[in-house]
Copies of this chain bind each other. A is one copy, B any other.
Amino acid sequence: MARVKTDERIVVAMTELLRRQGYAATGIKQVVDAAGAPIGSIYHHFSGGKRDVAAAALRQSGAAYGELVGMLLAPYDDIADGIEAAFVAAADTIAESGWLNMCPVATVAGEVADTEPALRAVAAEVMDAWVDQGTALYRTHGLPEPEARTLILAVIASLEGAFILARTQRSTAPILAAGHAMGGYARALTADPENSGAPA
């Protein structure tokens, strides 16, 4: 089996630590230990140290997460059906995993938005990409640009918030409720886009 490169192992270890315990609680020594890498290799691959590794982890898991959500939404002809199915799948996954943090991008962004401008900017870039991808997807289903953008923003916001409630309450109810609400909104929107579109 080919060896995974050191820099990749470091990013994977950081992603898992961010997922479980967040940014401030994660020390660079813990990352290299988890990656089985010498401490010097961090600064060889990531000159900015912990902050650069975290930025790479957010970019990588953000891209993976964007692809996953796209894959979940895409197979449905009906936008509302696709949203409800994606939230149901997310609820099943989080419960089966023992309440795994499904999206370290949002929890780390929530933790560091006021203290780590560089990481905030990376998380914003990741979220902008999700919004652009979702807008493009919903446009292919016939929604005008502003309605498509409003819908994907609301879907992402409610999914991220529902993940936090679900992990905190150890319950899938918040995810199922959010999916049901967003599906209901999407159904009203596609039935009558004139009347239910973007905020004024």
Interface on A for B, CB 8 Å cutoff? 20-25, 99, 101, 106-107, 109-115, 120, 123-124, 127-128, 149-151, 153-165, 167-170, 173-182, 184-185, 187-189, 196, 198-199
A167 surroundings in chain B (CB, below 8 A)? 109-110, 113-114, 120
A20 surroundings in chain B (CB, below 8 A)? 114-115
A173 surroundings in chain B (CB, below 8 A)? 153
- Which 8 pairs across A and B sit closest by C-beta, in order of nearness? A161-B161, A154-B181, A160-B161, A24-B25, A153-B177, A24-B24, A158-B158, A107-B110
A176 surroundings in chain B (CB, below 8 A)? 199
A24 surroundings in chain B (CB, below 8 A)? 21-25
Q: Are B168 and A22 in contact (CB under 8 A)?
A: no
Q: Are B115 and A165 in contact (CB under 8 A)?
A: no
Q: Are A168 and B127 in contact (CB under 8 A)?
A: yes
Residue in B closest to A184 when the chains form the complex, CB atoms: B185
Contacts A110-B107, A188-B188 given; indicate if A157 touches B168 (C-beta within 8 A): no
Q: Give the complex CA separation of A21 and B173 in angstroms.
A: 29
**What would be 29 A-B contacts, judged by CB atoms less than 8 Å apart?**
A21-B24, A25-B111, A25-B115, A101-B114, A106-B110, A106-B161, A109-B164, A110-B111, A110-B164, A110-B167, A113-B164, A120-B167, A124-B168, A124-B170, A127-B168, A127-B169, A150-B177, A153-B174, A154-B162, A154-B180, A157-B164, A158-B158, A160-B161, A161-B161, A161-B162, A181-B181, A181-B182, A184-B185, A184-B188
